[in-house]
Amino acid sequence: MIDLKFLRENPDVVRQNIRNKFQDQKLPLVDEVISIDTDRRTTQGEADELRNKRNQMSKQIGALMGQGKKEEAEEIKKQVAEFGDRLAELEKKQAELEAEVTKRMMLIPNIIDPSVPIGKDDSCNVELERFGEPAVPDFEIPYHTDIMEKLHGIDLDAARRVAGNGFYYLMGDIARLHSAVISYARDFMIDRGFTYCVPPFMIRSDVVTGVMSFAEMDAMMYKIEGEDLYLIGTSEHSMIGKYIDTMVQEDTLPHTLTSYSPCFRKEKGAHGIEERGVYRIHQFEKQEMIVICKPEDSMTWYDKLWKNTVDLFRSMDIPVRTLECCSGDLADLKVKSCDVEAWSPRQKKYFEVGSCSNLGDAQARRLRIRVVGEGGKKYFAHTLNNTVVAPPRMLIAFLENNLNADGSVNIPKVLQPYMGGKTVITP
C-alpha cells in the first residue's frame, strides 16, 4: 500500500504506475480515493472544530457554576450535548470514509522501481546473468518422477489415494536427499549471518492482508474452516508478520532471518496442478530468507539476497540464471523482483526455483512496522524476501544435473555430510 499523502500530491505518477502495470481498470481508484479523502478531511476538520468548541464551553460551564450562574450554565450544557450528538455522527462518518479509502488503497499497486522493465506479462521478463555452463549429456534424461521411481524414491499413486493430485510420498534416499538439501540450506544461511527461525505455519487474516494482495490471497491461501487462520503459502508471510504492530529501534537494523516451513498452496489459476510431476503441487517445504531494513539499504540487500540463492545452487554444481521480472509480472506490493532459474538438461531450458523481492515499505505500512530513528523520528521499514531453496522443485534440477547414464545420481561434496557420507545414489 502506497502512502496516501504521496497519492494526494502525485496522482499522475500513481496513474502512470498503474498503466505501466497494465491494470488500467484500476485507474478510477485514484480519483475515487482523492474524492473520498477530501470528504474525510472535511469531516475531520468539522469534528476537530466541534471538539475545540466543546472543550471551551465545558470550561465556561465550570466558571459560570462557580459564579452561581446556574441558568446560563444549563443553557451551555444543552449546546454541549447537541455538539456531542453531532460529533458522534461525524466520527461515524469519518470512520466509514477512512474504511472506504483504505479499501481502495489496498487495490492500488505499489510504485515500481525505475529500473523495472515495462512489459505486460512474464514473456517480457529480461535475462540478467548466467552462472555456470549449461550442459546436455549424451544420454537421454528421463522425466524427473521417472528418475525418482527408478530409485524407489516417490509414490504418487498412494498419495492420490490419500490426498488427491498435487501430493506425493518421498521415500528412501530421495526423501533423505530432500531433507539434506533443506538442512544444508539452513546451515548455508546461518553461515552468512542470518538468524534461524521456525515460524508458525498458520497466520491470521490481518497478517495475510498485510503481506499480500487480495488476488494472491484468493489464488494461494487455504482457509481453516471456523477459524481466523490460514495455512501459509510461503514462510516469509509468517516471518514478516512477526513484526506486526512493532516499533523497531533503528540501531538494531537490519534484521536478517532464515526460516524453515512447510508451505500449502491452492495453485488456483492457469498453471494448475501436475498429475505426474512435483513442480507445481499443493504441499512442499522451503528454506526462506527475509530482511527488515532501513529504506536506503533495501536495494543493497536485494542484491545480496538473490546472490545467496545463486551461490547455494552453484555450490551444488547446478547452472542458474537470474531473470528480471517486468512490470506486468510483479505482484502489486512489489517494488522490484527477480527469479532465479535452474538449468534443465532434459528440457534444454531454465525453470524457476526461487524468487527475490523488494517490497519497499508496502508490507510495513499495512502491518504498521515502524522504525524509531535518531531523535525519536518514526518511519516505515522496508521488507525483502527470497527463496533459499524449495524442494522438491529444486530436486528436479538436482537430479537432472547430477544424473549418470546408468541411472545413478552423484551427491555433491557439500551434501555428503547430510547424506551419511554417501557419494552416489544408485538404482
In this structure, how many other beta carbons lie within 10 angstroms of the beta carbon of residue 209?
A: 15
Is 207 within the bounds of a domain? Answer: yes
Domain match, 222 and 316 both:
yes
Query: Which CATH number does the domain housing residue 98 bear?
Result: 1.10.287.40
Whether 101 and 127 share a structural domain: no
Instruction: Give the pairing type, strands 230-231 and 283-293.
Output: unpaired
216 shares a domain with 73: no
Residues 307 and 378 in one domain: yes
Residue 100 lies in a domain: yes
Q: Answer whether residue 14 is part of any domain.
A: yes
DSSP code string of 310-321: HHHHHTTT--EE
E strand or H helix at 338, and its extent? strand 336-344
**Residue 114 within any structural domain of the chain:** no
Rounded Cα gap, residues 396 and 318, in angstroms: 11
Same domain? For 138 and 186 the reply is yes
- C-alpha 236/C-alpha 315 separation (Å) is 24
Among residues 296, 335, 320, 307, which one has the least CA distance to residue 401?
320
Does residue 115 lie within any of the structural domains? Answer: no
Domain end call among 53, 75, 105: 105
Question: Which of 80, 105, 130 delimits the end of a domain?
Answer: 105
* Residue range(s) defining the domain that contains residue 137: 122-425
Q: Cα–Cα distance between 148 and 171 in angstroms, integer?
A: 9
pLDDT digits (tens, 9 = 90+) for 93-145: 999 999 999 999 999 999 999 999 999 999 999 999 999 999 999 999 999 99
Closest CA to 333 of 161, 106, 95, 46: 106
Q: Contact at 8 Å (CB) between 239 and 197?
A: yes
Say whether both 292 and 395 belong to one domain. Answer: yes
Query: What amino acid is encoded at 241 in this protein?
Result: G
Cα–Cα distances in angstroms (integers) from residue 297 to residues 290, 358, 381, in the given order: 14, 11, 10
**Res 357: pLDDT:** 97
Cα separation, 201 vs 186, in Å, equals 17
Instruction: Please list the pLDDT of the chain residue by residue as tens digits (427 residues).
Output: 899 999 999 999 999 999 999 999 999 999 999 999 999 999 999 888 888 877 776 677 666 676 777 777 667 677 777 777 888 889 999 999 999 999 999 999 999 999 999 999 999 999 999 999 999 999 999 999 999 999 999 999 999 999 999 899 999 999 999 999 999 999 999 999 999 999 999 999 999 999 988 777 878 899 999 999 999 999 899 999 999 999 999 999 999 999 999 999 997 655 656 667 888 899 999 999 999 999 999 999 999 999 999 999 999 999 999 999 999 999 999 999 999 999 999 999 999 999 999 999 999 999 999 999 999 999 999 999 999 999 888 999 999 999 999 999 999 999 999 999 999 999 8
Are both 143 and 90 inside the same structural domain?
A: no
Choose one of 73, 105, 137: the last residue of a domain: 105
Say whether both 126 and 66 belong to one domain: no
> What confidence score (pLDDT) does residue 349 get?
96
Would 116 be classed as within a structural domain?
Answer: no
pLDDT of 273: 63
Could you tell me which of 361, 349, 352, 238 has the C-alpha nearest to residue 306? 352
pLDDT at site 74: 67
In a domain, 117, yes or no: no
- Looking at residue 64, its pLDDT comes to 66
**So what's the pLDDT on residue 405?**
96
68-104 per-position pLDDT tens digit = 777 776 676 777 777 778 888 899 999 999 999 999 9
Q: Would residue 113 count as lying in a domain?
A: no
Strands 378-380 and 202-203: unpaired
For 416, the grid coordinates are 555428503
Q: What does the block give as the cell for 119? A: 512489459
pLDDT confidence of residue 275: 64
Question: How many angstroms separate the CA atoms of 250 and 252, rounded?
Answer: 5
Q: Give me the helices (H) in 67-171, please.
A: 70-105, 144-150, 156-163
Same domain, 250 and 196: yes
DSSP lists the bridge partners of residue 261 as 286
Which pLDDT score is estimated for 407? 95
Using only C-alpha atoms, the chain has a radius of gyration, in whole angstroms, of 27
Tell me the three cell numbers of residue 145.
518422477
Q: How confident is the model at residue 73, as a pLDDT?
A: 67
Angle at 357 between CA 352 and CA 358, to 5 degrees: 165
Is residue 241 located within the same domain as residue 97? no
Same domain, 92 and 140: no
**What's the total number of domains in the chain?**
2
C-alpha to C-alpha distance for 91 and 96, rounded to whole angstroms: 9
CATH number of the domain bearing residue 340: 3.30.930.10
Same domain? 82 vs 180:
no
Using alpha carbons, list the distances in angstroms from residue 66 to 63, 71, 72, 74, 292: 5, 12, 12, 13, 58
Q: What is the pTM of this model?
A: 0.90
